[in-house]
């Protein structure tokens, strides 16, 4: 069985994911939440109430697919450790 390569990502999508994730992270931090646990909770559950509506963060993250968020975070992590 061959490994399937998923390459549907294009740079503008990556840039949008990164920009929105940074804004959401900042809004969560400003409101006193732990951004990591809140974002992980959102990705795992799909429940938008994990994300504050402060600075329109909930609407911003809602524009993105959860798999896109996860893929960008894994990509960035691997870029740092490899």
| pTM, rounded to two decimals | 0.80
Number of domains in the chain: 1
Domain span at 25: 11-81
Is 55 in contact with 26 (CB distance < 8 Å)? yes
Question: Does residue 1 lie in a domain region?
Answer: no
- Tokens representing 11 are 């740079």
pLDDT, one tens digit for every residue, the chain (82 residues): 666 555 554 577 788 888 999 999 999 999 999 999 999 999 999 999 999 999 999 999 999 999 989 998 999 899 999 9
Task: Please report which residue ranges of 1-82 form alpha helices under DSSP H.
Answer: 11-30, 35-45, 57-62, 66-81
Structural domain includes residue 61: yes
């Amino acid at each position: 069985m061959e490994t399937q390569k998923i390459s549907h990502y294009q740079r503008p999508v990556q840039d949008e994911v990164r920009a929105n994730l940074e804004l959401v992270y900042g809004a969560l931090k400003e409101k006193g939440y732990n951004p990591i646990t809140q974002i992980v909770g959102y990705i795992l559950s799909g429940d938008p109430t994990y994300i504050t509506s402060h600075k329109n963060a909930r609407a911003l993250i809602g524009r993105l697919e959860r798999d896109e968020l996860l893929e960008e975070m894994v990509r960035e992590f691997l870029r740092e450790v490899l």
